[in-house]
């Protein structure tokens, strides 16, 4: 259990930092981090970090397609957690 908590702490922290760095790059009009990278980070457990970065940095909050894809990832994670807790998977 401690390993899992450490994993989520690291992944969410890294996702938060990557999203913050992408916002910095956007402000400086430089080459950006791909959305697929951000989605991958969220999918492997960094959803909370990405959500916090979106709120704190106001990053990707006006891009509807990004928000919809991010919500799909969150819903899939909630579904997976529900199925795991009910011993369906």
Q: How confident is the model at residue 1, as a pLDDT?
A: 80
- 39 within 8 A of 69, measured Cβ to Cβ: yes
Cα separation, 34 vs 48, in Å, equals 18
- 59 within 8 A of 53, measured Cβ to Cβ: yes
Q: How many helices (H) and strands (E) does the chain have?
A: 4, 0
DSSP label of 32 = P
What are the tens digits of pLDDT across the range 24-78?
999 999 999 999 999 999 999 999 999 999 999 999 989 999 999 999 999 999 9
Cα separation, 32 vs 42, in Å, equals 17
Q: How confident is the model at residue 25, as a pLDDT?
A: 97
* 88, pLDDT greater than 80: no
Q: How confident is the model at residue 87, as a pLDDT?
A: 85
pLDDT-derived band at 82, boundaries 50, 70, 90: very high
- 15 within 8 A of 41, measured Cβ to Cβ: yes
């Amino acid at each position: 259990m401690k390993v899992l908590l450490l994993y989520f702490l690291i992944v969410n922290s890294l996702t938060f930092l990557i999203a913050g760095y992408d916002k910095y790059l956007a402000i400086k009009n430089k080459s950006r981090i791909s959305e697929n990278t951000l989605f991958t980070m969220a999918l492997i457990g960094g959803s909370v970090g990405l959500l916090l970065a979106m709120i704190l940095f106001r990053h990707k909050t006006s891009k509807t397609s990004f928000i919809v894809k991010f919500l799909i990832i969150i819903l899939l994670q909630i579904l997976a957690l529900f199925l795991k807790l009910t011993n369906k998977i």
